[in-house]
Structure 1
Amino acid sequence: MTNIAHSYDVASSNNAPSLGRCGGFVAEHPQDAFHLPARRTSVPEARRRVTALLQEWGADQHVRDDVELVMSELFTNALRHTASEKVGCELTLFGAHVRIAVTDEGGGGISAPQVQPGSVDKECGRGLFLVGALSENWGTRPDPGGGRVVWADLPYAATDD
């Protein structure tokens, strides 16, 4: 597993294709963030947004597919296991990795997310197994607002265009 530091240099997704020229400085790590209502109908919207953003950044199709699946799993877990009214999503491109971070507002009283034993064979509970299989590293941290951030780092590759 890799141990990758998280950067907070921000560039809007509109500037990301040019590697983040933003307000007179060049952001080292293109980044975009958005919030959506904590509803099932927001899951496909989150997938669409991250796929479009990664396409702008030049990610190849395999990367877009993997990030879309991981985002979907993390967003769905935030809906199912917390009492959030909104869910935050953040993507950061750095080096050969893309970090997905999903922030909930807490509530629900559950412990930190973890892969459930035997989750591969169950209809529910496979999400974090998939996150672990597709990412090089993933984890959780408390959010200063009282919720939790669940993040995953996936390999990034650009298209050969």
Structure 2
Amino acid sequence: MNQETLRQVPSSAYLFTVQLSATRRGARLARLLTERQLDDWGVPLQGAAQVVAELASNAVLHGRVPGRDFRLRIKLDPGPGSSLRIEVTDARGDRIPRTPDPGATDAESGRGLMLVAAYADRWGVDEAPAGCKTVWAELTVLGRGTP
């Protein structure tokens, strides 16, 4: 994001929220919608699309409850040191994601969260209403370029 693009961004935050089916198709759609939204906002962050892909995939694989969807929320806070916050809320608050032990090379899961940690400045998990959880990641837009 260059200075010219930054001047075009209003001082208020941008927000995008969508509820998607907890299926592989829903996870794929989350990434596609993120790419389209970021393009509309003028934010060229390929890393953000990868973070959404991982978090949505985890929501489908590990956070799925039959008959319940997951929610994707993206918030762009423009201005100097602007940040992009990605949140994925799923129905399984009892299954908290954790990165695997770095020494456990034969681990069957957790590599996606290592990608999230690599792209994001910080990430975490918050409890959400109705027994749900929200996994979030924050990326700095200005000064980081395309991750």
Q: TM-score w.r.t. structure 1 length?
A: 0.73
Q: Does 1:90 align with 2:78?
A: no
Match of 1:79 among 34, 42, 60: 60
Q: How many residues were matched structurally?
A: 131
Cα distance change, pair 120–87 in 1 and its aligned pair in 2 (3 A): farther
CA displacement at 1:39 relative to structure 2: 0.4
Unpaired runs of 5+ residues, structure 1, are 1-16, 20-26
Q: Give 1:124 deviation, angstroms.
A: 3.2
CA contact (8 A) 2:98 2:110 kept: no
1:6-155 correspondence runs (5 A): 19=10, 28-60=12-44, 63=45, 65-84=46-65, 85-95=68-78, 96-106=82-92, 109-110=94-95, 112-118=96-102, 122=107, 124-155=109-140
Whole-angstrom distance in 2 between the partners of 1:156 and 1:18: 12
Q: How many Å separate the matches in 2 of 1:157 and 1:87?
A: 29
Task: Please tell me whether the aligned partners of residues 15 and 73 of structure 2 are also in contact (alpha carbons under 8 angstroms).
Answer: yes
Superposed CA RMSD: 2.3
SS at match of 2:24: coil
Measure the CA separation in 1 of the matches of 2:105 and 2:111: 6
SS at match of 1:77: helix
Contact 1:91–1:101 (CA<8 Å) still a contact in 2? yes
Relative contact order (alpha carbons < 8 A, sep ≥ 6): 1 or 2 greater? 2
- When normalised by structure 2's length, the TM-score is 0.79
| Moved segments of 4+, more than 6 Å | none
